[in-house]
Amino acid sequence: MSNYIVLVKQVPDVTQITDNAFDPESGTLIRSRLASVINELDSQALAFANRMRQIGSNKTGKIIALTMGPPMAEEVLRYSLSRCADTAVLLTDAKLGGADTVATANPLAFAVRKIVKEILNEDSDYYVVCGMQSVDGDTAQVPPQIAEELGLACIAYATEAELRNERFEFTRIISGGSQVVAARKLPAVITVAKYEYPLFATFAATRRANRMEIVRWGGDDIKATHIGVKGSKTRVIRVFPPGKSVRKCREVDNAKSLAKMLVSSFKSGNGDISRNGNGQASYYILPDKRAEKFDRSFEGTKKENEDFKILAGTLKKLGISEISQIDDTAEEKILAAVDKRFHKKALKDMINGLQLTEPSYKGQVWVVAEHSNGRVHPATFELIGKARELADSLETKVGVCLAGHGLEPMAKELIAAGADNIYIIEDKLLSVFDPTAYRKVVADCISTYWPQIVLFAATAQGRMLAPMVSYRLGCGLTADCTSLDIRDSSRKGQMGILMQTRPALGGNVMATICTKNSKSQMATARPGVMKRLPADDLRTGRIIRHKVRLSNDDISLEIIKTELGGGDVNFDTEIIVSGGKGMQSRDNYERLVGSLCDCLGRKLGAQVERGASRAAVEQGFVERMHQVGQTGTAVRPKLYVALGISGAIQHMIGVANTETIVAVNSDPNAPIFKQCDYYIIGNVEDTVPQLVQALEAE
Amino acid sequence: MPNTKNYNKVQVLIVGAGPAGLAAAIHLKAEKPETEVCVIEKAADLGNHNLSGAVLEAEPLHTLLDSAVPGWRESEAAREVLASRIDKDDIMFFTKNRAINIFPMIKLAGIFRLGFGQMIHIADYSVQVSKLAKWLGRIAEDMEVEVLTGFAAEDIILDESTNMATGVKLVDQGRDKEGNKQPNFVEGEIINADFVVLAEGCDGLLTEKFIEKAGLKRDASQLYSVGVKELIKVSSEQYDKFTSGRVVHAMGFPLWTPVIGPGMFGGGIVYAGVKDHLSVGMIVGADWKYYDFNPQDALTNFKNHKFVKQFIDGGTVVEAGAKMIPEGGYYAIPREAETGSIGKGNCMILGDSAGFVNMLKIKGLHNAIDSGIQAAKAITETLNSPETAAVKYTELIERSNVIKEMKSSKNFRQTIAKFGPLLGMPLSVFGGLLPKFKIEKDYEAMTTARYRLKGNQEFDKDTFTAVVATEHREDQPSHLKILNGNICVQKCIPEFNGPCITFCPGGVYETINGKLKPANPSNCVHCKSCQRKCPFDNIRWTAPEGGGGPRYKRM
């Protein structure tokens, strides 16, 4: 009799952001001004668990909703109770606040243990079911980290469960397709990527739920090992509004020129409109290589840079050239000279910072490679490009950790892309990606060499592997970075550290984060954000073999079926071609969107997905899962082509983070023309074939 | 925990968490704390479906809270919701280029006790009714009223033999577009109740069904107005220039220009809201005759009038909404034929659902709250004989200020509907002396005349619905029904070009391949104008799944 522990989270409702939610001074989002709702994927997870219970062999299994948060998080537990949960557990304690993903996963895992012990009476037949990620954090780290803490298998991105031969088989999304898997051992953690039928509350169940007792546990009840700010492995340095992108709104009068623009903007990006400040040069000089001894112009925040500049100027004025010259009287003089700009304590910290000349971390800069069918994933090459830049300024080497089977041929390509050392872990058991087996060997390899930085691609696979590896090694991890820079935090005594910048709260704010209490700094970066270096076939490098003992027991998943290029929609592609009402019919949509997708995919060597406006879905041109926008899926490809879409604000919100938007519409007053980069006025039936023809000729 | 309670049964069920319903709940709990009171509301959250100007006459609210919440005046919420007390009241007449203050005339009318004189608002509160409803909802919850949002009712159930309301039926949830059951389908529950209080607001779905099923009658058909409103963030200079605590009502342009037309009833409003925000709205009698008219176009004209423009130019619309207002007045109150009760048996009709809007004051909020208090009193007095509640309620409300006011403004609106604004306004001075007129229904007024001030720019409905933040689960059957599609194609489009396409503030209706459809039901803002203004009475508004609709926060 399976039981289900469903993790639910209360999040700010980022779909209902109003203008007063932003601080007029700093432009940052004020979280308390947003309504709170249950994380949408968690509501799907709840329905998923309910479905498992319904189809399962025993229908009396318990569904237990668990959340961690402030007392008001009780609301999401009431939500769960009014739908299908039998019991609800609220983990709430001031001590648990300020946690990063490690300090969230850890207490939740301990709470799961306590639930199993006290509520399920040690019955180990259970599943932990949760949404793949939350809309506010957007990291997808907590579920795999919980699996790691509990030593369970983790089946990520599930979309359906079926019972076959007395056991559950899960359909899940993988890059470019889908897969049916089963856990080889129970219990297991399931993360739900999409389950379309969230449950409705009923009147009676809501009234019942409002009267039910909620189990409340504090930090001391669960005896977790990593909690709150102290237990966190990352620290937020600053939060700032994302750079507002300005669209070019340039009209193009023929398909030929538009084809040229499409190709060039895809290949070289969109000039000034870099998304959220990615790609900025990470120029950095180690402290002992700087011309001026007291040069601290590589701090992570502007204010620190200014403060140190003032301090250096003051020291010069006072004739102080050595730190040892600074005694109490000198300190007073400095404080007087800067007109009390710093507190005494701050000054002491700064002086201590000036003494530091060594970077805080040692070791190489690594990239964990991703590959399938003997081909390296393009994101790996992009990360090597970034790693090269970071390693050069830190004066160290770029290493690539390559685990799998039949790897030798890939090494050369990785070296040409900028790597110095390739660490190869070769094993037949690694011939397909199994999270548990891969995390074991990758973590083993990292902990043998301890690089100072480890980068993973934020692909479906990387977002699964990275949290397990980092948690296993006790290291912090920042997900989905759009910019990675080496900077100092001199006052905190940290030199040459990795500053990791990422969007949060659905792209409404940006946060710069650094790692703490970790032997290595780890991050994942989205494909398409970092730049690949031109291949240099003359480059040389070393191949280092690393051996890890693996057995069949290390494999957690049984892969039953893999289907690539299936019917599932994957909006995590570089290009999306969407059709709107202007398509007129399903046939036109099929023909026009289809031909342009094929052509762009072939000519640009990129993955392309089909999207649609709500109107197109409404009129049955294409299935709902293709809908892009406020009520559909928010996307962020490099290139978004909108065919016959008017550009209603609800649609445009969903594509705001796109690098380049191209529009074709016959209405010269279509609002989309004010919100795109390039457009052509013309009906899609004529323009698209011309565009395809022109692209073929490019 | 053994639990045998029947959660589908409540003692008092109130439909609608607006000022009327919540006042009833609060007053009832204050009088009889042991009563089980449950309020259902179709909006996702408290206040989300409440929109008004709004000028609130303080008295009934004070009475309600004084008896229920000791020390309420000192609460932070009270200070926030009731922050703005009106100290400047301008009533203006707009011509295309000028604005004439006619407040002195209204004041004079007041002195001579002419109906018009009631139009004065000084010392009233200027409130945002979505906030007011949210606050009252919280108060009710604190008093252990069960306020359940996200539950929409689609029907009221009457016992065949006794003709008493036994309860309501909620909307089915989890059907797809074609009406098929999805895996998460939940059939709409039936909630049984001893007392049913209908406080749904204007043109209530259950109210109208009840009126029909229980055989209630109106002496004159209900007349409506359509209001559209925007909350505009303006600069501090503009706000200070307008001054806080000020309300402006403007008649004339762009709805009514004597002699050359257009000739519509209604007017524009500009209210000072919270700091640096102005509410700008347009209220138009739904008996307009121009097939291409859209109240939003009038709002655009109003916003471009130089008097208004000076205060809002360069501002940002941060919220918007639309609703209907019942304006039929005293003769349009639905009553039981025998007893004259407003409701029947154990079922009472409150607030806008009953039509308690005083058209001379152009206010109804105070009456809504007052009717809630009277309903609560009626219930406390008839706890052992629910079947007499409606009669008791009517008895109480007849004695209350509500009906007194309704009588004084008896047929103001009908006079104008009958004679047009030019003649009707002056005639209405005779107030109750005039006979009851037979008035055609709003939808019958449509003609092939054009709105002279249409302008050439289409109102941007997409942006409007975006700031309304209206949303419905997309994959559900359309809650807007066209009864006979042939009428649209064969009669309405040839004759009037499908006015719903133009006047629906959410842009719900479109022609697709020659057929007129509610193509975007998820844009619906629940104003229900379509079912009252379709020239062929061919549209019905039904309840969508609970939780859908606009998300008003400061309207």
Contacts of A82 in chain B (CB under 8 A): none
pLDDT of residue A196: 81
Whole-number Å distance between alpha carbons of A645 and B154: 35
Residue A381 in tokens: 């090459």
What domains, with CATH codes, occur in chain B? 9-79+129-172+186-218+333-410 (3.50.50.60), 85-124+228-323 (3.30.9.90), 461-541 (3.30.70.20)
CA-nearest residue of chain A to B510? A615
pLDDT of residue B30: 97
Choose the weakest-confidence range: A147-151, A561-565, B206-210, B277-281.
Answer: A561-565
Residues 6+ apart with CB under 8 A from B172: B185, B186, B187, B188
Choose the weakest-confidence range: A282-296, B177-191, B208-222.
Answer: A282-296
CA-nearest residue of chain B to A585? B513
Answer whether B317 touches A (CB < 8 Å): no
**Cβ separation of B318 and A18 shorter than 8 Å?**
yes
**Cβ separation of B474 and A649 shorter than 8 Å?**
no
Whole-number Å distance between alpha carbons of A397 and A379: 19
Answer whether B296 touches A (CB < 8 Å): no
**Cβ separation of A19 and B184 shorter than 8 Å?**
no
Whole-number Å distance between alpha carbons of B165 and B384: 16
The yes-or-no verdict on residue A274 having pLDDT over 80 is no
Cβ pairs A/B, distance under 8 A: 76
Choose the weakest-confidence range: A240-249, B28-37, B427-436.
Answer: B427-436
Whole-number Å distance between alpha carbons of A391 and A453: 9
H or E stretch including A494? strand A494-504
Answer whether B8 touches A (CB < 8 Å): yes
- For residue A16, what pLDDT band results from cuts at 50, 70 and 90? low
Whole-number Å distance between alpha carbons of A193 and A111: 23
Whole-number Å distance between alpha carbons of A366 and B506: 54
Contacts of A207 in chain B (CB under 8 A): 7, 38, 146, 148
> pLDDT tens, A219-229?
999 999 999 99
- For residue B385, what pLDDT band results from cuts at 50, 70 and 90? very high
The yes-or-no verdict on residue B3 having pLDDT over 70 is no
pLDDT of residue A19: 59
Compute the average pLDDT of residues A243-257. 81
CA-nearest residue of chain A to B147? A207
Whole-number Å distance between alpha carbons of B331 and B550: 31
Contacts of B318 in chain A (CB under 8 A): 18-20
- For residue A651, what pLDDT band results from cuts at 50, 70 and 90? confident
Residue A532 in tokens: 């690949």
> pLDDT tens, A365-375?
999 999 988 88
pLDDT of residue B1: 44
pLDDT of residue B2: 47
Give the 3-state secondary structure percentages of chain A, helix then strand then coil, rounded to 5: 35, 25, 40
pLDDT of residue A464: 94
CA-nearest residue of chain B to A21? B318
Answer whether B80 touches A (CB < 8 Å): no
Whole-number Å distance between alpha carbons of A664 and B44: 37
% of chain B at pLDDT higher than 70: 95
**Shortest CB distance from A206 goes to which of B148, B319, B463?**
B148
Q: pLDDT: is A98 or B170 the higher one?
A: B170
Answer whether B319 touches A (CB < 8 Å): yes
pLDDT of residue B431: 57
Contacts of A197 in chain B (CB under 8 A): 174, 182-184
Fold match, A3-11+26-232 / A360-548: yes
Interface ipTM above 0.90: yes
β A575-579/A639-643 pair status: parallel
List residues of chain A with CB under 8 Å from any CB of chain B: 16, 18-20, 35, 47, 51, 197-208, 210, 212-213, 614-615, 617-619, 624, 631, 646, 648-650, 671
pLDDT of residue A275: 42
Closest C-alpha to A419, from A443, A398, A404:
A398
Least Cα separation, residue A152 to chain B (angstroms) = 30
Answer whether B236 touches A (CB < 8 Å): no
pLDDT of residue A663: 95
Contacts of A203 in chain B (CB under 8 A): 7-8, 40, 148, 151, 170, 189, 191
**Shortest CB distance from B318 goes to which of A19, A615, A646?**
A19
Q: How far is CA B407 from the centre of its chain?
A: 20
β A398-404/A365-368 pair status: parallel
- The alpha-carbon radius of gyration of chain B (Å, integer) is 22
Contacts of A51 in chain B (CB under 8 A): 183
Question: Where do the structural domains in chain A lie, given as residue ranges?
Answer: 3-11+26-232, 250-273+569-697, 287-355, 360-548
> pLDDT tens, A670-682?
889 888 999 998 8
pLDDT of residue A176: 62
CATH superfamily of A250-273+569-697: TPP-binding domain (3.40.50.1220)
DSSP-based three-state secondary structure for B364: coil
H or E stretch including A688? helix A684-697
% of chain A at pLDDT higher than 90: 62
> pLDDT tens, A539-577?
999 999 999 999 999 999 999 998 775 456 778 788 999
Compute the average pLDDT of residues B468-481. 92
pLDDT of residue A622: 86
Answer whether B471 touches A (CB < 8 Å): yes
The yes-or-no verdict on residue A634 having pLDDT over 70 is no
**Cβ separation of A203 and B170 shorter than 8 Å?**
yes
- Fill in the DSSP letter of residue A522: E
The yes-or-no verdict on residue A492 having pLDDT over 60 is yes
Label each residue of B54-121 as H, E or C.
CEECHHHHHHHHHHHCCCHHHCHHHHHHCCCECCEEEEEEECCCCEEECHHHHHHHHHCCCHHHHHCC
Dihedral, CA atoms, A524, A529, A533, A534, nearest 10 degrees?
Answer: 140
Residue B169 in tokens: 């039926």
pLDDT of residue B422: 67
Instruction: Please report the residues numbered 339 through 368 in chain B whose beta carbons come closer than 8 angstroms to any beta carbon of chain A.
Output: none
Q: Which amino acid is at B465?
A: T
DSSP assignment of B160-185: TTT--EEEEEEPPEEE-TTSPEEEEE
Answer whether B4 touches A (CB < 8 Å): no
Residue of B173, B184, B545, B555 for testing the chain A interface, max A β-carbons within 10 Å: B184
- For residue A142, what pLDDT band results from cuts at 50, 70 and 90? very high
pLDDT of residue B17: 98
Compute the average pLDDT of residues A253-278. 72
Residue reference for tokens 């709107």: A580
> pLDDT tens, A437-467?
999 999 999 999 999 999 999 888 999 999 9
Label each residue of A306-365 as H, E or C.
HHHHHHHHHHHHCCCCCHHHCCHHHHHHHHHHCCCCCCHHHHHHHHHHHHCCCCCCCCCE
Residue reference for tokens 């655009």: B300
Contacts of B43 in chain A (CB under 8 A): none
The yes-or-no verdict on residue A279 having pLDDT over 60 is no
**Cβ separation of B184 and A198 shorter than 8 Å?**
yes
pLDDT of residue A365: 98
**Cβ separation of A200 and B173 shorter than 8 Å?**
yes
Contacts of A618 in chain B (CB under 8 A): 474, 519-520
What are φ and ψ of residue A541, in 5° steps? -160, 175
CA-nearest residue of chain A to B174? A200
Whole-number Å distance between alpha carbons of A159 and A142: 19
User: 0.90 cut: is pTM over it?
Assistant: no
Contacts of A212 in chain B (CB under 8 A): 1
H or E stretch including B399? helix B389-399
Choose the weakest-confidence range: A22-36, A118-132, A151-165.
Answer: A22-36
**Cβ separation of A197 and B184 shorter than 8 Å?**
yes
**Cβ separation of B466 and A649 shorter than 8 Å?**
yes
**Cβ separation of B183 and A197 shorter than 8 Å?**
yes
pLDDT of residue A276: 38
Contacts of B512 in chain A (CB under 8 A): 619
> Domain A360-548 falls in which CATH fold?
Rossmann fold (3.40.50)
**Shortest CB distance from B148 goes to which of A197, A203, A619?**
A203
Compute the average pLDDT of residues B131-149. 97
Residue of B3, B4, B474 for testing the chain A interface, max A β-carbons within 10 Å: B474
Residue of A34, A203, A618 for testing the chain B interface, max B β-carbons within 10 Å: A203
Whole-number Å distance between alpha carbons of B267 and B264: 9
% of chain B at pLDDT higher than 90: 75
Least Cα separation, residue A196 to chain B (angstroms) = 9
Angle at the Cα of B55 from the Cα atoms of B51 and B60, rounded to 5 degrees: 100
- What angle do the packed helices A328-337 and A344-355 form, to 10 degrees? 110
The yes-or-no verdict on residue A362 having pLDDT over 60 is yes
Residues 6+ apart with CB under 8 A from A596: A577, A641, A643, A688, A691, A692
Averaged pLDDT score across all residues of chain A: 89
> Domain A3-11+26-232 falls in which CATH fold?
Rossmann fold (3.40.50)
Contacts of A631 in chain B (CB under 8 A): 471, 474, 522
Long-range contacts of A22-27 (CB under 8 A, 24+ apart): A22/A241, A26/A240, A26/A241, A27/A240, A27/A241
Q: pLDDT: is A506 or A228 the higher one?
A: A228
Q: How far is CA A470 from the centre of its chain?
A: 14
> pLDDT tens, A380-434?
998 999 999 999 999 999 999 999 999 999 999 999 999 999 999 999 999 999 9
**Cβ separation of A200 and B186 shorter than 8 Å?**
yes
pLDDT of residue A272: 44
- What angle do the packed helices A462-472 and A435-449 form, to 10 degrees? 50
**Cβ separation of A208 and B7 shorter than 8 Å?**
yes
**Shortest CB distance from A204 goes to which of B189, B319, B471?**
B189
Residue of A200, A585, A672 for testing the chain B interface, max B β-carbons within 10 Å: A200
